[in-house]
Amino acid sequence: MASTERRGPRQIYAAFQWSMQGLKACFRHEASFRLEVLLAVVVVPLGLWLGHGPIEKILLITFPVLVLSAELLNSAIEAVVDKVSPEFHELAGRAKDMGSAAVFLLLVMVVVTWGLILLPRFL
């Protein structure tokens, strides 16, 4: 069946399968993604437990999930850059560094969000 013939539930299911393939590939090939998944497995339930009210809970779990999303995009950028330009090139290095910086900024936001919400309760 051609991809243009997929409609409705079949298209949604195919998209779901491709997404699962992407998650599996990133988990298999990227150590940083595995570490961030481990972090999310710990902090997402913890955020749901420690957050007071829905807004705090959403804030405490959103940034760890965004870190995973950014890591997936960063890994995709790195894979494409490595495929297109296997030898070192300044622009390739810059693209990889920028992807890494995006993940770093979201990790900072995890720390800031958790600190601003939870530190006042323990001080």
Phi/psi of residue 72, nearest 5 degrees? -60, -45
Residue among 121, 123, 112 at smallest CA distance from 50: 121
Alpha-carbon distances of 18 from 12, 15, 23, 70, rounded to whole Å: 10, 5, 9, 17
Residue 44 tokens read as: 């997402």
56 burial level (CB within 10 Å; 0-12, 13-18, 19+): middle
Give catalytic residue positions.
Answer: 71
Q: What amino acid is encoded at 84 in this protein?
A: V
